[in-house]
Chain A
Amino acid sequence: MTFNDIVSLAPFIAAVLLSAAILVVDIVFPGRRGPALVTTFLGLGLVAVLVAITGQTASTAFGGAYKVDDLTTFLDLLFIAIVALTMAFAPDYLEERGLPVPEFAATIVFAMSGAMLLAASGDLLVLFLGLELMVLPGYVLAGYHKTDGYSTEGAVKYFLLGSFSSAIFLFGLAFMWGLTGTTNIDGVREALGSMPLSPGLGMGLAMLTTGVAFKIAAVPFHYWTPDAYQGSPTPVTGYLSVGPKVGAFALIIRLFGQGLVDLAIDWNAVIMILAALTMTLGNLVALTQDNVKRMLAYSSIAHTGYMLVGLAAFGAGQIRGMEGLLYYGAAYAFMNLGAFAVIAALQRRAGVTSNLSTFAGLVRREPVLTWLMFLFLLSLTGIPPTAGFYGKFLIIVAAVDAGGVNSWLYVLAVLTVVNAAIAAFYYLRVAVYMFMRDPADEAATGMRHGGLVWTGLGVSTVMTLALGLFPGLLLGLVGSAAAAVLLLQ
């Protein structure tokens, strides 16, 4: 271990230390949210600065096990933004239910450090380590409302299926090691370069695909998602629907996009089928949901499908597919967190459900929240000029472009837009309730929301609009991040 290794690792170390620091602050000021939140946000800022500084130059540490490149930087910044936004709208919700804020902050920052490790991993084992470090706090967060039966149920399901899939994934990694004799991702790539598809390789690929399909909740490995999402406290659902999802895509990019990229011809067909199934089934089931959280859970499955289309285009040799995937990840993070922030704000008073009826006539009680929700829903639908539209645009561009290589991608592009139209139905149904129905309970008047919630909502709104109107802002970053995927170090 050299000093340079430590420098490359600095953001990750800072993230872990931040998590510990929040716990220490909680010991010094027990049960008070103020100091813990100040520590969290200052710490996140510091980590972001470190990411930006170390990201200036590409480097590797520990013999290639840990890589810092533009992809790492992009993903790290995205993770930090996701956690910061979650922390902006979680405290009000948690406090109302008597749940401790500082421990929540420490847990979620731990999860973030795992995601950062994942994004930077250049080694199969580090990849697995990062994955587990990211998802274990997730199980805790899902069951954070421990007196609530649904929360516990969701957490148990999430935990059981999560660890089951981790085991399958690990088995797949073992196959890769057995075939190549190395755990270094670039090493794996070189060793696999010219290898024909043997039964062992097939088994390995199948297990790896199954494992990651569980993590990103791709159909038919999605059954844990709705229960885990609906049962979790709303801010946790918001986090779970974007954080671990982008994290799992980071894993896919490092593993499939780099290590196994030369086998794209073998895995891409499976990815395409997964993409088609995932977006179609996710959307169709979302149509029938009456609970908005559960509906957004199924819709998050559909969004996984759109991102898989980007991956499939990348697998067919279009770097733009990777750009689309990354851009969509960022766009999805901001618009989905925004939508969950609104739901969490509405549910501030304990006992308010997330059923559609809660949204009836909302525009009269909470005009500002309603219009913001409408914006996020439009963005999730993919109506211009919003982030969601441009994300879909990039993915469809990539798919159409890749259609020249594999004409099934044309079909996938058309399927994507058909799905966007299906999705419009259930997203707009929420808008129907908000704008066009009468409130069930006239007495329920507007609530006061804290400044932190408004700040978080403001950031989500600005980003949702900015990423739609001025995509050039992020395209450079996304472009260099995508280019980094193909660089051998």
Chain B
Amino acid sequence: MTGLPLVTLVTFLPAIGALVVAATPTSRPNLARYVALGFALAAWIVSLVLLAGFSPAGPAFQYEESVAWIPAFGINYAVGVDGLAIVLVVLTTTLTWISILASFSPIQHRVKEYMVSFLVLEVGMTGVFVARDLFLFYIFWEIVLVPMYLIIGIWGGKNRIYATIKFVLYTLVGSLLMLVAILATAFTYQNAHPGDWTNAFDVASLTTAGAAGMFGGTFGFLAFGAFFLAFAIKVPMFPFHTWLPDAHVEAPTAGSVILAGVLLKLGGYGFIRFALPLFPEAAHTWAPAIIVLSLIAIIYGAIVALVQPDLKKLVAYSSVSHMGFVTLGIFVFQEQGMQGAILQMVNHGLITGALFLLVGVIYERTHDRTIAKMGGLGKAVPVYAAALGFFVFASVGLPGLSGFVGEFLTLLGTFVASPAAAVVATFVMIFAAGYLLWMLQRVAFGELSDFLKGLGSHLTDMKPVEALTLVPLGVLVVVFGLWPGLILDLVSGSVGAALAPVQAFAESAGPIALGLWR
């Protein structure tokens, strides 16, 4: 182990990159592009070094760093990674460089500002995953908002301003209420240790206290509610999802990739890392409602996706459905369920990220995303159609590809807790096959449509750069499909730690009260 503060490095390398990019002359957009890509790749390499040095058998949290920051409140700059965090950090750094590379050709104006925004975004996302201090976590959580606001608002589509303001306001309401809950939690901790602020924001201490039942009763119920709202908006769960289709449709391609790939995961991560361990009792109380909402999200997302005329909107609503599996898997409180949820988070990041990239590729050529105008892409652009087919099948959950394992494990866990819920969720997977395969059929098969014919030579097949952005995602989809253990071994410790308090509580209070659902 080297003495380098690797976690700090991976978090703030993009920040340095943002400063360097900001210093490049506006007249040389290519310089900004390559510098940004360089820093994103550097952060990616550091994250891989972290991953290589991480030992699943070792202590839960490794590479821990801690420096006193605001001693008056016991707030520290404390970072560290466990198996779950490292997986998500690597997902973030991977998708970031892919997104930056995928932006080279679509983004042609104000390139420098775009790259700065993207790198700052990476700082926020990585920071959320590595923060070991609740205050620090909140700071990173909020930092994410600003660059995303600019990315959608400046480089987005026609309705971008409406979409970006909706995105910011939804997220801000949730996160500000979470701030109150964070403070109230810290106070409860501080009151139990009279007058002493030490560790009041320290995640490890708070988690221990939470497991011991310190944040229970009405207080826990309300505080969990505030955390839930913040995370549920981010995931997004039904009925807090309405910002997502707008944001996805208006965002530039790379913005959609990051939004689906990482931003939505912040919510799932928050549930696993904070909501469950801190408030086991409240989580237990809330679980039936959350499971029902997850099922609604799974069904509703699938049905709405079925009737979308717009390619990007279809993928966006499929996100709502897929993320429903994540919250379902988390809140059945079973090991397999949560492992499935984490796999699903990673897979959804890879697969939906790739689907958004593919939508971006076709949009760049046609300047249109209407499914009805497409048709016969398989004949005109066979490589593209094959790639689309591959990721569509991955998204449907074809065994052998990664999407399958996540959903399978989630359903397995759900079945133990509530067979009825598992049955409902399983049937919905048929819808998923329906809307995705129907889309593929309409877009890729048949005769070339008149609209596409009209494009003539503009309709070219995949360029090498575009392929370069998709290949790593495709490889990972196959690898994780065949060896899900690669991820499961890493995260099993985190899963156990996150579930232990709530399972212990369930043992004394009985299984979650699903009523008729059981």
Contact = CB atoms under 8 A, between A and B. Distances in A.
A453 interface: no
Interface string A421-436: 1001100110110011
A303 to B, nearest CB: 16
Contacts of A400: 180, 183-184, 187
Contacts of B110: 363
A413 interface: yes
Contact of A383 (B146, B160, B161): B146
A187 interface: no
A397 interface: yes
A160 interface: no
B172 interface: yes
A317 interface: no
B179 interface: yes
B179 A417 contact: yes
A366 to B, nearest CB: 13
A435 B72 contact: no
A397 B183 contact: yes
B153 A436 contact: yes
A407 to B, nearest CB: 12
Given A425-B165, A436-B161, A472-B72, A414 B180 contact: yes
Contacts of A424: 168-169, 172
B173 A418 contact: yes
A418 B72 CA distance: 26
B116 to A, nearest CB: 10
Contacts of A384: 138-139, 142-143
Interface string A457-489: 000000000000001100100010000000000
A378 B187 CA distance: 27
A137 interface: no
Contacts of B138: 384
A342 interface: no
A401 interface: yes
Given A401-B187, A432-B161, A436-B160, A420 B168 contact: no
B57 interface: no
A446 to B, nearest CB: 13
Contact of A421 (B113, B150, B176, B184): B176
Contacts of A116: none
Nearest to B75: A471
Interface in A372-410: 378, 383-385, 389, 393, 396-397, 400-401, 404
B165 A432 contact: yes
Given A383-B145, A384-B138, A384-B143, A420 B176 contact: yes
A417 B139 contact: no
Contact of B172 (A404, A421, A435, A475): A421
Nearest to B173: A421
Contacts of B164: 432, 436
A363 B117 CA distance: 15
Contact of B165 (A397, A428, A435): A428
A418 B150 contact: no
A472 B71 contact: yes
A385 B173 CA distance: 18
Nearest to B222: A410
Interface in B420-472: none
Contacts of A421: 169, 172-173, 176
B149 interface: yes
A319 to B, nearest CB: 12
A435 B180 contact: no
B16 interface: no
Given A384-B143, A424-B169, A475 B176 contact: no
Contact of B154 (A401, A404, A436, A479): A436
A418 B169 CA distance: 10
A385 B139 contact: yes
B371 interface: no
B52 interface: no
Contact of A432 (B145, B153, B172, B179): B153
A381 to B, nearest CB: 8
A219 B72 CA distance: 34
A42 to B, nearest CB: 35
Contact of A435 (B142, B145, B154): B154
A428 B165 CA distance: 8
Contact of A471 (B70, B179, B187, B191): B70
A396 B165 contact: no
A419 to B, nearest CB: 9
Contacts of A393: 179, 183
Given A384-B142, A385-B139, A401-B187, A396 B179 contact: yes
A22 to B, nearest CB: 40
B192 to A, nearest CB: 13
A418 B168 CA distance: 13
Contacts of B113: 363
B212 interface: no
Interface string B140-156: 00110110011001100
A417 B110 CA distance: 34
A417 B177 CA distance: 7
Interface string B98-142: 000000000000100100000000000000000000000011001
B437 to A, nearest CB: 38
A421 B179 CA distance: 12
A97 to B, nearest CB: 33
Given A385-B139, A425-B165, A436-B154, A396 B173 contact: no
Given A417-B180, A471-B70, A383 B169 contact: no
A421 B177 CA distance: 10
Contact of B142 (A383, A418, A429): A383
A413 B142 contact: no
B184 to A, nearest CB: 5
A393 B72 CA distance: 13
A471 B71 CA distance: 10
Contacts of B145: 383
A173 B160 CA distance: 56
A385 B71 CA distance: 17
Contact of B153 (A378, A418, A435): A435
A475 B70 CA distance: 9
Q: Max chain B CB contacts within 10 Å: which of A384, A435, A471?
A: A384
Nearest to B190: A401
Contacts of B161: 432, 436
Contacts of B70: 471-472, 475
A94 B172 CA distance: 39
A414 B145 CA distance: 21
A421 B176 CA distance: 8
A436 B191 CA distance: 47
Contacts of A385: 139, 143
A202 B16 CA distance: 59
Given A384-B142, A472-B72, A418 B176 contact: yes
Contacts of B180: 396, 400, 413-414, 417
A475 B183 CA distance: 18
In the complex, the 9 A-B pairs of residues with the closest C-beta atoms, listed nearest first = A417-B176, A384-B139, A421-B173, A421-B172, A436-B153, A400-B183, A384-B142, A424-B172, A475-B72
20 contacts: A384-B139, A384-B143, A385-B143, A393-B183, A396-B180, A396-B183, A400-B187, A404-B191, A417-B177, A418-B173, A421-B173, A424-B168, A424-B172, A428-B149, A431-B153, A432-B164, A436-B153, A436-B154, A436-B164, A479-B72
Given A383-B145, A425-B169, 15 more contacts: A383-B143, A384-B139, A385-B143, A389-B142, A396-B179, A404-B187, A417-B177, A420-B172, A421-B172, A424-B168, A432-B165, A435-B154, A436-B153, A436-B154, A479-B72
Interface of A: 363, 378, 383-385, 389, 393, 396-397, 400-401, 404, 413-414, 417-418, 420-421, 424-425, 428-429, 431-432, 435-436, 471-472, 475, 479
Interface of B: 69-73, 110, 113, 138-139, 142-143, 145-146, 149-150, 153-154, 160-161, 164-165, 168-169, 172-173, 176-177, 179-180, 183-184, 187, 191
